[in-house]
A = this chain, B = another copy of it.
Amino acid sequence: MIDQGLPRGSERAIVRSMTTSDNTAETPAAPTGVAAQDWAQASVDPQYRAAVVDLLGALAYGELAAFERLAEDAKLAPTLADKAELAKMASAEFHHFEQLRNRLTEIGAEPAGAMEPFVAALDGFHRQTAPSDWLEGLVKAYVGDSIASDFYREVAARLDADTRALVLAVLDDTGHASFAVEKVRGAIDADPRVGGRLALWARRLMGEALSQSQRVVADRDALSTMLVGGVADGFDLAEVGRMFSRITEAHTKRMAALGLAA
């Protein structure tokens, strides 16, 4: 391995360098339109408001589902220390959920109602991709979180300042990535055949994530309209296409860094 001698924290550096933020250097520095407004100004537009409620609802249920998934995966942990590590991540996801739920209440939206439209897609994703062992669970946590994080970071740049700050705060690294990367690379080093199986698994995860995202986009008018530039600033259909290709590209790089062919 070329990075055999890297210090322990190096996985985190690799992880950070693999996010799409590196690919968006061309984004203008000064925000314009909605991105230059705060919530009080931006939410005057009822369509923008509905889109944000959708976004926060999707993110909130995503965190709650991630909590459940990680707690479930903790059962597969080979040691008590690994179990505790997964429980810690699950707990961090729950605290993100709390922040999003509180924000929904604050802006006058009913949290359960805001989350409900996304339950089927997220539960569907998790049902279709139940990991059969500890390593599959770790790859799923890593891939799933990274894709979700890339997507929300892209969207965040086009949101009003208040909503953007919240979205970025709950996407803060909970330590999933470096923990998963370290464990998965260790397992591949010990038995290179593991890599082939996990590469296939990662492809299946990406495919299922894309298919469930399409389902959500087809169902939710306000959210989709915002994504294609109807309400929020700077998005058009071509831009959405470019965004998806940036996310896919970042995924490919991450998988390569993990020792998996994407």
Contact = CB atoms under 8 A, between A and B. Distances in A.
Nearest to A90: B71
Interface string A76-93: 000111011001101100
Contact of A90 (B80, B83, B94, B98): B94
B84 A88 contact: no
B80 A75 contact: no
B91 A94 contact: yes
Interface residues on A, range: 20 to 34
B80 A116 contact: yes
A98 B72 CA distance: 19
A246 interface: no
A80 to B, nearest CB: 4
B95 A91 contact: yes
Nearest to A71: B71
A111 to B, nearest CB: 7
Interface string A55-85: 0000001001001100110110001110110
A95 B97 CA distance: 16
Contacts of A87: 64, 67-68, 94, 97
Nearest to A82: B112
Contacts of A95: 91
A162 B193 CA distance: 50
Most B CB contacts (10 A, CB to CB) among A79, A84, A97, A112 go to: A84
Contacts of A84: 64, 97, 101, 111
A138 interface: no
B83 A94 contact: no
Interface string A152-172: 000000000000000000000
Contacts of A88: 94, 98
Contacts of A97: 84, 87
A198 interface: no
A115 interface: yes
Given A71-B72, A72-B72, A88-B98, 11 more contacts: A64-B83, A64-B87, A68-B87, A71-B71, A71-B74, A71-B90, A80-B111, A80-B116, A80-B119, A84-B101, A90-B90
18 contacts: A64-B87, A67-B87, A67-B91, A68-B71, A68-B74, A68-B75, A68-B87, A71-B72, A71-B90, A80-B111, A80-B112, A80-B116, A81-B112, A84-B97, A87-B94, A87-B97, A88-B94, A91-B95
